Amino acid sequence: MSYTALDSIQWGGVPKIGVSFGYDSRRSGSAMQYRIYVTVAPLTGASYFGYPIYLSVTVDGGSVCSGHTLKAASPSRWSSAIEYDSGWVTAAGAVGTAPLGIRLYSGSGSARDDSYGYALPVERVEDIGDFSLTAGDAVIGQTGTLTLTRPGYGYSFTFSYVLGSASGTLSSAALRTVSSSAGRVVYQWTVPESLAGELPETTHGTGTVTVKVYSGGTPVGSLSAAFTAYVPETMRPTAALTTEVVNDGTAAESWGLCVQGVSRIRYAATAAAQGGASVRSVQFRFAGQELTGTTGTTAVIGISGTLRPTVTVTDSRGRTTTVSGTPVTVCEYHTPVITASGVVRCGADGTEKDDGAYLKVRCAASCSEVQGHNSVQVRARMRPMGGQWSGYTELLNGAEQLLGGGLSPTASYEVELSAVDAVGGVRTVRYTASTSQVTMHLRSGGKGAAFGKYSEGERLECAWPAVFYGDVAVSGALTVNGETVEALAYPVGSVRLTDSAASPETADGLTWESVETGIAGVYGWRRTS
């Protein structure tokens, strides 16, 4: 067997045992390979050693064998050499020299235990294939790592990078050695912030780092490694927001207040993207409403409370930033409420009479406070049944007051009581003051009849309570005090809730305007007439 001899020793005291060490080596790409040989000489004659002999070998810090039995306790004498061959062992990181450690030891009563150390030579190569480069993923503007594996010393390097259309070189000052051992060097480099501009519509992209290798100033070759560059989370769009209350000439404008069901909000936003990105969208949100764009005005605000407007900016990378504006206090408001009302015929002194020439009316109402600014006024108007309305007469809130004079006992009169507040909200109720009472009256011409009153049209009328003991069918419109059932259910100014974004369809000529509810999937409609 041909190999390079390392050492020959006399192991132990009595008897001394001859042991020799040797090795063979070869290069395998960027790694060195070694083959370790241990030979124990024969022990003959009068000498004997009735104990085991164990072997442990390490190469470049890596274990080759541990506790390998060269000889068992028996025999105590041997006439032929005992040989050990490790086979080829790879020392991937060997640089300059590779340390070899050999330990010979015994047991079972023997105290022999000796270790030996040697330096195995590392062959230098001039082939770039013996190098390897890896690049760790990195956050733009922060540090990344470059790991270079090399077969030995005596080389120099230059590094460069490419990402998209951007490229650059890394000077020695831009590289910081993090660790260097056993042919493996880890560098740290700062990923330029300018690379974010190469990724305007994504949060990460793939670049390449290239190292050129020189040996004694002569280029040996180059190799490259891919890395993923991530746009930092802090690189998000910026935004600012201002708002103002819009009252469109209503009383709330002079009060300087934002009022539920009356006021709107006008906003202006500024937005900017970072790191080469662009602004994709700007969304304003307030009181359940959402508008798109940097400026705009909401619909009438449908809820009350201290509410905070926000604007959300989304950039071309899909990243968002949300900022809040100054909170807006929306004063609670609802149309006036008529708490009590009534209309009866009476005489000039106010005494109730079914044939009275006067009407005694009463209307009591309340309204939303709106921080002490709002007030309510009650009023009345009247007309003969089917005739023209009179002008409004102002009433004292909750007090009885006389209307008319000279009213015919054979005619009915409609009376409309209204509550109007300073905001402009209106609530109305209607009454009919019937004719004076008669048991039955037939209209001239025979096409009208009435019970409990005078007939006033070509129809059947009844002024007294009625009881029907059979089915009652209504084929036309059903009205109460001159108003349809729907109109009574939703007086002017009241809000109707639906699950549809379309305006309510009615057959009674009612009109509606949209109001915000602040509840997803629930739509509000305020009756306007």
Q: What is the pLDDT of residue 153?
A: 64
Name beta bridge partners: 439.
none
Determine contact, residues 107/62, Cβ cutoff 8 Å.
no
Fold of 4-121: Immunoglobulin-like (2.60.40)
Q: Is the peptide bond before 75 cis (omega within 30 degrees of 0)?
A: yes
Whole-angstrom Cα distance, residue 245 to residue 243? Answer: 7
Q: Cα dist. 66→12, 70, 435, 459 in Å?
A: 20, 11, 123, 120
Specify the 3-state DSSP secondary structure of 475.
coil
Closest CA to 462 of 452, 470, 471: 452
**Shared fold status for 128-230 and 238-331:** yes
The CATH classification number of 238-331 equals 2.60.40.10
Q: What is the pLDDT of residue 214?
A: 80
- Architecture of the domain delimited by 128-230: Sandwich (2.60)
- What values do phi and psi take at 3, rounded to 5? -160, 170
Residue that the structure tokens 């409309």 belong to: 416
Within 238-396, residue ranges assigned H as helices are 251-255
- What values do phi and psi take at 283, rounded to 5? -125, 125
Query: What are the structure tokens assigned to 215, written together?
Result: 């040996």
Whole-angstrom Cα distance, residue 291 to residue 286? Answer: 9
Q: What is the pLDDT of residue 491?
A: 77
Q: Cα dist. 416→392, 403, 429, 483 in Å?
A: 9, 12, 6, 11
Q: Provide the residue type at 95 as one letter.
A: V
Q: What is the pLDDT of residue 215?
A: 67
Task: Spell out the residues 6+ positions from residue 66 whose beta carbon is closer than 8 angstroms to its own.
Answer: 56
Domain definitions of the chain by residue range: 4-121, 128-230, 238-331, 482-529
The model scores a pTM over 0.75: no
Q: What is the pLDDT of residue 32?
A: 80
Q: Which residues of the chain have pLDDT under 70?
A: 1, 27, 29-31, 93-96, 123-127, 129, 151-154, 182, 215-218, 481-483, 485-486, 488-489, 505-508, 529
Q: Provide the residue type at 339 as one letter.
A: T
392-397 LR contacts (CB < 8 Å, sep 24+): 392/418, 395/361, 395/363, 397/363, 397/364, 397/365
